[in-house]
Amino acid sequence: MLRLHYNLEKVSMGLVAAIMVAASIGGIVEIAPLFTIDETVTLPDDLRPHTPLELAGREIYVREGCYACHSQMVRSLADELDRYGPYSLAAESAYDHPMLWGSKRTGPDLARLGEKYSDAWHVAHLRDPRAVVPASIMPAYPWLGRPLDTRLLEAQLATLARLGVPYDDAMIANAEADALAQSRPASDGAAAVVARYGERIAMRAFDGDAERLTEMDAVVAYLQSLGTLTNAPYQIIGGGEQ
Amino acid sequence: MVGTLTRSERRIGIVLSVSLGLLGLGMAAGARHGVMAVHGMMALGLGLALIFHIGGALYDEPEPAPGRSGRYYDAPTRFGIGMTLLWAIVGMAAGVWVAALLYWPEATPPWPWTSFGRLRPVHTTGVIFGFGGNALIATSFHVLQRTSRARLADALSPWVVLIGYNLFCAWAVTGYLMGSTQSKEYAEAEWYADLWLVVVWSVYFTLYIRTLARRNEPHIYVANWYYLAFILVVAMLHVVNNLALPVSLGAADSFTIWSGVQDAMIQWWYGHNAVAFFLTAGFLGMLYYFLPVRSGRPIWSYRLSIVSFWGIVFFYIWVGSHHLHYTALPYWAQTLGMTFSVMLLVPSWASAGNAIATLNGAWHKVRDDATLRFMFVAAVFYGLSTFEGSFLAIRPVNSLSHYTDWTVGHVHAGTLGWVAMIVFGAIYTLVPQLAGRETMAWPRAIEWHFWSAVGGTLVYVIAMWNAGITQGLMWRTYDESGALSYSFIESVRTMAPYYLLRTLGGAMFLGGAVICALNCRATMRAAGGREDAADHPLSLHPAE
């Protein structure tokens, strides 16, 4: 090997080629199978994608860098099951571009957060965390009360559909209307949202004000959806309904 | 810059600047509003500034003296070191500020762009890509020329690389402030910035290979193997991890083509190899050149450097999955990551040992010369943090450390203790040379910098070790009745003193970096004279 290298270091393109080969093998062996094996590609029948409103909330979660302090990946360790709930399955984030598993828990894991708290709790907490949890070091997000910009939603759903997320043409075409309707359960469009995304989605004025569609509506809708996109983890681990 | 270019090069420079301005105009016009429009205006402004800068001197400044192909080209290195120091201060200041926010969250002003989540990537991108990246590019130009005994292949591409790269960094951090991010850690910049970086990187690689082709040495020196591995593998990682579909060509918004578990694997394949090939390989290149130069001793073992080079290139790429222990990633992939992480200790310690053994016989210099001491401490921290890294990758250890501040402590042992120390050692060796002097302007200040850097690193790392282990234990402790002993918020409350200490450690380190920047400025100022005054005739002796 030393001899080989001795000759190689006289030929720059040879060195380049050898580096590329040596540095590719590990990645290929570890990554390529993940696109084929059952463990990582089978999806539960009841898995649904995010609604447009939840997706908008997810985009805000990304924008504000919530993932820097919160993981969304319950590991298969006893204390995590006791603290957070059933461990996370690969399938749960199958439609997530990108995944938000996170790497740091300055705050708690959020994978099983959906419906743990009331909407009002979240609204108060996001506006001023220390008003609700005095020792909290989470930043306040007072600006989330501003109107939600829904103009990109249709294009976002279309892009995700192209990447394989099961949004059909009607979902894409109605993305903006559906976002509004999800926060106005009494409105005309509400029934169509349920028809498209299923009975299990939450239909509420998440920020407590049905008149205005705000970023707060979107974030809270997203937080309340965490861990509820499929029932599979509860069936495998908890032995039944949530 | 302009004085080192010929008239025809200046003309091409203007054409390139006009193209940059037009690109910016196109982006701004296509996007109309939002982040991409702001970034378009930034490119347009930069293009215009360059047009005026070069155009203003097109015929005024004299052309470089005819014999320049026999001299090294150091003006780009000088500019790159300046950018390194600028980003050091920006990136580290952002880091100290976000560290303070974790102790004192009420200090967050009510404007979205000052929020923790938006500033945190400003810190990471600022220090990794701004500070580290500029240091790598600037020193690579210097080392490449000296070890090849050849001038850079042309005079324009180094400027394209440096200016283009800094535009990428500036787009990235301003984007985060405005809320534009892909959320992939250490790869947050949006799609058009990523594409731009691919262009810049191709120019960098081409320049490197073309210069190597002109070398007057039969062998390619070990430092260049590492710089090459850095350039090549970072390109591969960057392209694969950032493959994304833009939502529209006029918006700074895209979705990565990867999802879920595949995305997680690719992200940490990228993330850990950003550590490997950006924060390790490139800086080992720096170490393999500046340590022998400064200590006046040849590398201890050539064979060991070969073994550790190929070990690092081959093993590192497997280890990313140790970031995903006990997650939904298949068990076999986690096990592979763990196994290779442990094996990686061998080439890592071979490199660290090789560096330290090189100092054998020069210990009196380590004692007296703060610059050499920076490099010695860097090698020691490299050894420590690679040991810690292999340890943390072991599954049961990782069950405790993952998600906690222990990881943060580990990363900073590597970045403050190893990466930043070797950069400072290289800078203090290089800057007097670039200024055509024997020493820095304020030699005493190097000592102050050294001690504040070492002190700051130790305070930081020890605080985070304590914080992380405490957190990990509190999260998993059960009481007699079989219930968890601590609520999450109790663990948060316990962190307060550690977070305060960490902020102080970081501030000490930042203080040292500020001293370094001022010292470098004073040294460069004292140089005066023409811009290429410090270019050295090609050495007639074989390279080190």
Mean pLDDT of chain A: 94
Residues A3-24: pLDDT tens digits?
888 888 899 999 999 999 999 9
Single-letter residue type at B472: G
Q: Which residues of A touch B106 (CB under 8 A)?
A: 130
pLDDT tens-digit series, residues B391-400: 999 999 999 9
pLDDT exceeds 90 at position B26: yes
DSSP per residue over B132-162, as a string? IIHHHHHHHHHHHHHHHTS--S-SSHHHHHH
Q: Is the minimum CB–CB distance between B257 and chain A shorter than 8 Å?
A: yes
Q: What confidence tens digit (pLDDT) does each residue in B153-203 have? A: 999 999 999 999 999 999 999 999 999 999 999 999 999 999 999 999 999
Paired strand residues for A104? B403
B351-383 pLDDT, tens digit per residue, is: 999 999 999 989 999 999 999 999 999 999 999
Give B70's DSSP letter: G
> Would an 8 Å CB–CB cutoff place B318 in contact with chain A?
yes
Which one of B98, B101, B102, B116 makes the best mutation probe of the A interface by having the most chain A beta carbons within 10 Å? B116
How far CA B396 is from CA of A74, B452, B518, in Å, comes to 16, 35, 46
- For tokens 């590192």, what's the residue? B316
B238 part of contact set with chain A, CB < 8 Å? no
Cβ-Cβ contacts under 8 Å for A21 (sequence gap 6 or more): none
Q: How is residue B69 written in tokens?
A: 């192909």
Q: Which residues from A are below 8 Å from B307, CB to CB?
A: 1-2
- Alpha helix stretches (DSSP H) within A32-174: 38-41, 52-63, 78-83, 119-127, 129-132, 153-162, 169-173
Contact A90 B260 (CB under 8 A): yes
| pLDDT value at B36 more than 70 | yes
Closest CB to A97 among B251, B255, B471: B255
Cβ contacts below 8 Å, chain A against chain B, sum to: 264
pLDDT band at B531 (very low <50, low <70, confident <90, very high): very low
Given this model, what pLDDT does residue B542 score? 44
Cα separation, B276 vs B320, whole angstroms: 10
CA-based nearest distance B411→chain A, Å: 13
Average pLDDT, chain B: 94
Query: What residues of A are in contact with residue B483 (Cβ under 8 Å)?
Result: 82
| Partner residue facing A105 (CB), from B106, B121, B403 | B403
**pLDDT of residue B84 exceeding 50:** yes
What is the radius of gyration, based on Cα positions, of chain B? 23
Q: What are B285-344's pLDDT values in tens digits?
A: 999 999 999 999 999 999 999 999 999 999 999 999 999 999 999 999 999 999 999 999
* Chain B closest-CA separation from residue A193 CA (Å): 23
Chain A, nearest residue to B271 by Cα: A103
- How far are the Cα atoms of A31, A179, B238, B374 from residue B321, in angstroms, in the given order? 10, 37, 17, 32
Alpha-carbon gap: A202 to the closest alpha carbon of chain B (Å):
23
Q: Which of B280, B287, B247 lies closest to A163, judged by CA? A: B247
Mean pLDDT within A89-99: 95
Helical axes B260-273 vs B222-241, angle rounded to 10°: 160
Name the B residues in 343-402 with CB < 8 Å from any A CB: 399, 402
Instruction: Give residue B65's pLDDT.
Output: 79
pLDDT on residue B432: 94
Q: What is the pLDDT of residues B446-476, one digit of tens each?
A: 999 999 999 999 999 999 999 999 999 999 9
Q: Which among B229, B247, B333 is the nearest to A152, CB-wise?
A: B247
Degrees to nearest 5, angle at CA A16 with B539 and B141: 35
Out of B115, B212, B246, name the one closest to residue A64 (CB). Answer: B115
Question: Tell me, what amino acid is at A182?
Answer: Q
Return the domain boundaries, chain A. Answer: 2-39, 45-237
How far does A97 lie from chain B, in Å, by closest CA? Answer: 5
CATH class of B74-527: mainly alpha
Q: Which fold has domain A45-237?
A: Cytochrome Bc1 Complex; Chain D, domain 2 (1.10.760)
Q: Work out the angle between the directed axes of helices A52-63 and A215-225 (0-180°, nearest 10).
A: 100
Q: Is the confidence at residue B524, as pLDDT, over 80?
A: yes
| Percentage of chain A exceeding pLDDT 90 | 88
Q: Which of A63, A77, A89 sits opposite B179 (nearest CB)?
A: A63
Pair of tokens at residue B159? 């400027």
ipTM: 0.95
Q: Which of A71, A90, A106 sits opposite B261 (nearest CB)?
A: A90
* Four-residue CA torsion sign, A106, A108, A111, A114: negative
Judge whether A64 and B115 are in contact, CB under 8 Å. Answer: yes
Q: Which of B124, B201, B214, B403 to mutate to test the interface with A (most CBs of A within 10 A)?
A: B403
Q: Say whether pLDDT at B536 is over 90.
A: no
Report d(CA B306, CA B299) in Å as an integer. Answer: 12
Contacts with A101 from chain B: Cβ below 8 Å: 264, 324, 327
List the 201-220 stretch of B: residues with Cβ below 8 A of A: 209, 212-213, 218-220
Residue B528 confidence (pLDDT): 56
- Give me the pLDDT at residue B533, please: 43
Confirm whether residue B325 is marked as ligand binding: no
- Residues B253-300: tens digit of each pLDDT: 999 999 999 999 999 999 999 989 999 999 999 999 999 999 999 999
CB-based contact B260 A105, cutoff 8 Å: no
State pLDDT tens for residues A178-195.
999 999 999 999 999 999
Domain assignments of chain B as residue spans, ordered by start: 1-62, 74-527
Residue A242: pLDDT band (50, 70, 90) is very low
